[in-house]
Amino acid sequence: MCGRARCSLRADDIPRACHRIGAAARTVDMERYRPSYNVSPGAYLPVVRREDGGNGESYAIHCMRWGLIPSFTNKNEKPDFYRMFNARSESVGEKASFRRLLPKSRCLVAVEGFYEWKKDGTKKQPYYIHFKDDRPLVFAALYDSWKNSEGEILYTFTILTTSASSALQWLHDRMPVILGDKGAVDTWLNDSPSSKIDTVLKPYENSELVWYPVTPAMGKTSFNGPECIKEIKLKEDDRSSISKFFIKKEIKEEPTSRLERSTCETVGKEDPPERVKQLPESQDKTVVSPFITSEDLDFKSSIYKPSLDEEPKNKAKRDREELLAGSDASTDENKQLHSGRAKKANLTSGDDQQRTLFSYFGRK
């Protein structure tokens, strides 16, 4: 497919680009031609065609509008230049709009390059395609004339397309038919049989074609100028550059992380450093962490904590105190019991002396 092109050639550069040097040429309506970096269907472009009734050597440089309007179109109909701005070369011999034009209405279109869009989801990125040495590209085309309701005769043309070359299949499945040398140009422009012109309606496989991304702003037909063909850097390249930066950074920091891991492992396996060895060892044989400060040690040392040897003694002491407390309580109870009996005995006998059991039974 070819829907945008760059044609900023001068009028006298057209014959040279189409290998028509030295041949007689006539110009038609060339005052309508406006060089442009962003040509779209409906614009006027120089077209090289054979002169009517000529001997095959004479030709004309005729300025026509891009977008074929067949001669049988209703004269009251508004022309639609986007309807037939391309024609599939594989079917031009079958469709009525193009089949009748093949014998006598072949022409050449010279441009400096063309644009194609790469679809990426909902986004489209334009690319500018041209020859590596910046020489003009020559496209195979067909032209026709149509008379409107006012009697004005309008000459229009369509560019033939073919399947994309192997190098451009990633970008689009179609490309214009490029006539890369004088032999291909002569075959198409001269009165050659259909069987012979099929040999030039092929994808252009030479490695001379190059391309690069350009600004999406040129998608607007009003955008024009050298900015249309200025190469840009895609955002994908920016993202890849950023990812490469982070990858390099991670690789650079990897030895440090390994060193930290090995240091941690060494601290866990090897003896503590001298600074840790010099720290006072607690009485309960607990390991002093190398990360505890001297203030923490002072605070901990101020808190009394019995040692392993003191714990059994303290326990025995507590048991003895509890036993003594229990015996004291029993003594108090016994005293109260004896005092009660003594009072009863005093009331009965009236004696001041306290009598014992032996004396009581002995008296009996």
113, β-bridge pairs = 6
CA 299-300-305 angle, to 5 degrees, is 135
Q: What are phi and psi of 179, to 5 degrees?
A: -95, 100
Distances (CA, A) of 170 to 120, 292, 325: 11, 66, 102
Going by C-alpha positions, the residue among 42, 145, 44 that lies closest to residue 101 is 145
For the question of residue 116 being annotated catalytic, the response is yes
CA 178-188-26 angle, to 5 degrees, is 100
Going by C-alpha positions, the residue among 284, 6, 8 that lies closest to residue 126 is 6
The active-site residue, picked from 7, 107, 112, 116, is 116
8 Å CB contact between 193 and 235: no
For the question of residue 250 being annotated catalytic, the response is no
Spell out the long-range contacts of 329-335 with Cβ–Cβ below 8 A and sequence spacing 24 or more.
Answer: none
CA 1-88-206 angle, to 5 degrees, is 60
Beta-carbon count within 10 A of 126 CB? 18
Query: Using DSSP, how many helices (H) and how many strands (E) does the chain show?
Result: 9, 13
Q: In 3-state terms, what secondary structure has residue 296? A: helix
The active-site residue, picked from 2, 7, 63, 228, is 2
CA 196-47-92 angle, to 5 degrees, is 40
Catalytic residues: 2, 116
